[in-house]
Amino acid sequence: MQPIGSEVTGAAFVGDGEASMTPPNRTQRFMLNKYSGAETLKEPFTEAVFRFSDGTDKTIRALGKGGAATGGDADHATQILRDRNGWLDGTREMHLEMQFLENRISGLRGQDFFLADFHTTKHDWLTYLFNPQDIHENILYASETLGAKGRRYLVAWTEWHKQSDLDPAGHYVLLPEHDGPRVIRIKHHDMSLDLKNTKTVEWSAQTTVEPMMDNIRCLRFDLVNNAHSESHWYEDSFWPSKVLSVADESGMSLAFMHKKDQLLVLLPNPAAAGSNVVIGTKGRADMIYEVTAESFGLIEAAWYPQYGRWGGRAPFHWTVRVPRPYTVTGSGRTIREFEQKETNQNGIETQSDLPVNFPWVIFGQFRKSEQTYVGEESKKSVKISIHTVAINGAGTPDKKLETFFGESKDILKLYENIYGPYPYEELHIAQMAPKLGFGQGPPYFVQLTGEVFLPGSSTLGQYSMHDFLSHEIAHQWWGNQVGWASADDDWLSEGFASYAAGIFIHALQKNEGLHRMLDEWRMAAKPGDKEAPIAAASMLQGPNAGEYRQDLLYNKAPYVLHMLRVQLDDEKYREVMRSIQETYKSVDISTEMLLSAVNKATGADYGYFFDQWIWDVGIPSFRYSWRSERQADGKYLITVHIAQADKNHVKRVLMPVHIHFKDKTIPQYKPVVQQEQDIKILSPTEPKDVTLDDDHTLLADISKAS
């Protein structure tokens, strides 16, 4: 490539080479083996394109032999450089040019990237990227063709943190807040959203930014050029977003560039670490979608300036105006609701003093109802509002609304007992279209598939009103107050929310409801378990990937948490949950941080538990037999022989052994640590039967030998 300011940033290679790498932990080795056929990549290649800002050209020159390329090789190298750069230019995952500009304009140190795009016989083109601005600094991609246009898209095969962030076992030990994008931090969003129709959002934002490094000369935000993930960034056919102006706090215009889903803003003077920089932006985005015939939402995308995972955590103040007769609800504490007659709009002003991820609003012809919940322990008042729409001419009956309010209060009461006080001042619940089959729980806010608001939707089991409502309210603690640091940790949000819903169902219907949930989770977990560990659920790609992800996060993960709770006991589990919610308020945590909290509370090492259930695959099948033998002293020696079918993923479990006598059953808990082992128990009387795990405390298939 032609040098940029005398700096070489790319090169092409034609010849014989080999790429080799081994991920540092069992989860990522499993994923590499799943996609490539081996836990270590060792692939010969004949062509490669390199992009870098770390001086790789100097290393190549030092190691190689100098000399001009001959005509054929030079032409070939030029062609593959042009072709591969053209392909990389259209991908949505990489912003190399914008990152290079940020690095050089601000003179950032330790932020340089390296990319190798190499052509293999077995896997076609593979792409390795090292980028210190990503929380997973190392990523290996393949590319796949999707859609009628024959475009190629990056598919992550394996990703891992840099070596210094890991312990010898490959576990992530760096605090996530010290990792990933760390050039700036957004301290506050103050934004006005003007919706004159049901297509376009006009936004005006004052974004307060704190540089994390000295001498910052430019700011780089996430801001999509369009919100259609299957389009190239430069296409504007679907959901385009356009920045109209950028200014400083005084209103002076600032130079900016909006490309590659990034907004790069040039500052008039260098900004020091720890200072406050206020950037004013105005833009327009076609980001509204229809939820029902009478309600609308905003597309999940960074269509205003954001920074970090899910836009980063920051307090916010929003003023939203929508066309009448619609009204607005969503995230935040309500400051005021108003009518703006001169523009024929209704509006709402909301704010959050707490730093949150993923604030959200929807609008529609809502019927609003309100009640107040008062915390039993905290004595804190929480305003609950429910926003419903008419579907097929019928609205939500008053009796159904009362049921919703009553159940919401019961859920809050239960969760406050386990997790601590409800995090926010208000809880807004809104109805979406029927038959969507999902809900969402942004901060302060729950939106649910429409049918749960209709009469007759209270059937127990998955996808009932009880399950949806309790799951999404749980996200106020798990996902919002305590977030997840990376895709490795998605299960902390969905798994805990699903298990919290299971606890509520148990409270509602006692053991019958709990056993129903456990059976559903166990059966649904099996297909996904073969595809990936829980920690890699969000890496899955290809046919049925979404279903497998759901199997792992919404079914296997809550069952694993049930096993953990049984091992800890209810009081210790509550202690751990409250400790995490109190210690990590408004923090995104890693799985390793949860493990550390469990270890601290128990004084034991639960690393084995997380290794085998979160970071590895396998739902064990136990087969057992038993016998009893009368001893010389008249007692009976019970021997239970247990064998695990999967020799490659042997699980260490605390096995409940139920000894049945004529008039009673006595459970004993015995460790199973080998693929085959005998458990010996001395009994004063002869048992009638011996069974294992009668209460379904283990995620396992258990059968008795004939």
Q: Residues, the chain, total?
A: 706
Neighbours of 621 (CB within 10 A): 13
Least reliable range by pLDDT among 64-68, 159-163, 280-284: 64-68
Higher-confidence residue: 61 or 279? Answer: 279
Residue (of 589, 610, 614) closest to 135 by Cα position: 589
The yes-or-no verdict on residue 370 having pLDDT over 70 is yes
Q: How far apart are CA 636 and CA 653, in angstroms?
A: 25
Domain 177-365 matching CATH 1.10.1760.20: the answer reads no
Q: Residues 126-147: what's their mean pLDDT?
A: 89
8 A C-beta contact, residue 697 and residue 562: yes
Q: Residues 322-335: what's their mean pLDDT?
A: 96
Q: Which CATH superfamily is domain 621-704 in?
A: Aminopeptidase N, middle-beta domain (2.60.40.1840)
- Determine the CATH number of domain 484-503+512-613: 1.10.390.10
Whether omega for the bond prior to residue 325 falls within 30 degrees of 0, making it cis, is yes
Q: Residues 23-35: what's their mean pLDDT?
A: 97
The yes-or-no verdict on residue 181 having pLDDT over 90 is no
What is the pLDDT at residue 148? Answer: 46
Q: Residues 169-186: what's their mean pLDDT?
A: 87
The yes-or-no verdict on residue 107 having pLDDT over 80 is yes
- 84: CB partners within 8 A, 6+ apart: 49, 117, 125
What is the pLDDT at residue 546? Answer: 94
8 A C-beta contact, residue 181 and residue 308: yes
What is the pLDDT at residue 68? Answer: 64
Q: Residues 57-62: what's their mean pLDDT?
A: 84
Q: Which of 96-110, 258-272, 502-516 has the highest mean pLDDT?
A: 258-272
Environment class of residue 145 by beta-carbon count within 10 Å: exposed (0-12), middle (13-18) or buried (19+)? exposed
Identify the helix (H) or strand (E) that includes residue 346.
Answer: strand 345-356
Higher-confidence residue: 255 or 86? Answer: 255
The yes-or-no verdict on residue 137 having pLDDT over 50 is yes
The yes-or-no verdict on residue 397 having pLDDT over 50 is yes
What is the pLDDT at residue 458? Answer: 55
Cα pseudo-dihedral 299, 302, 306, 309, rounded to 10: 90
Beta-strand pair 41-52/621-630? unpaired
Higher-confidence residue: 238 or 549? Answer: 549
Q: What is the largest CA-CA distance in the chain?
A: 97
The mean pLDDT of the chain is 92
Residue (of 19, 261, 16, 15) closest to 117 by Cα position: 19
Least reliable range by pLDDT among 208-222, 381-395, 637-651: 381-395
What is the pLDDT at residue 452? Answer: 83
Report residue 249: phi and psi, to 5°.
Answer: -65, -30
The yes-or-no verdict on residue 146 having pLDDT over 90 is no
Q: Residues 429-449: what's their mean pLDDT?
A: 88
Percent of all residues in the chain with a pLDDT value above 90, rounded to a whole number: 77
Neighbours of 179 (CB within 10 A): 21
CATH 2.60.40.1840 region(s) of the chain? 621-704
Side chain identity, residue 463: Y
Q: How far apart are CA 320 and CA 298, in angstroms?
A: 12
Q: How far apart are CA 288 and CA 300, in angstroms?
A: 10
Side chain identity, residue 518: L
How far is CA 321 from each of CA 241, 265, 318, 326, 339, rounded to the nearest angstrom? 19, 28, 10, 9, 9
Could you report how far apart the first and last alpha carbons of the chain are, in Å?
72
Residue (of 127, 115, 160) closest to 43 by Cα position: 127
Least reliable range by pLDDT among 83-87, 273-277, 562-566, 684-688: 83-87
The yes-or-no verdict on residue 88 having pLDDT over 90 is no
**pLDDT, tens digit, for every residue of 587-605?**
999 999 999 999 999 999 9
CATH 1.10.390.10 region(s) of the chain? 369-476, 484-503+512-613
Q: How far apart are CA 469 and CA 621, in angstroms?
A: 34
What is the pLDDT at residue 460? Answer: 42
The yes-or-no verdict on residue 150 having pLDDT over 90 is no
The yes-or-no verdict on residue 126 having pLDDT over 80 is yes
CATH 2.60.40.1730 region(s) of the chain? 177-365
Environment class of residue 182 by beta-carbon count within 10 Å: exposed (0-12), middle (13-18) or buried (19+)? middle
Architecture of domain 369-476: Orthogonal Bundle (1.10)
Helix (H, G, I), strand (E, B) or coil at 167: coil
Identify the helix (H) or strand (E) that includes residue 202.
Answer: strand 201-211
Q: How far apart are CA 201 and CA 204, in angstroms?
A: 10
What is the pLDDT at residue 394? Answer: 64
Side chain identity, residue 454: L
Higher-confidence residue: 285 or 90? Answer: 285
Cα angle 360, 207, 363; round to 5: 20
The yes-or-no verdict on residue 461 having pLDDT over 50 is no
Read off the pLDDT band of 398 (50, 70, 90): confident
The yes-or-no verdict on residue 149 having pLDDT over 80 is no
What is the pLDDT at residue 172? Answer: 93
Q: Residues 553-581: what's their mean pLDDT?
A: 97
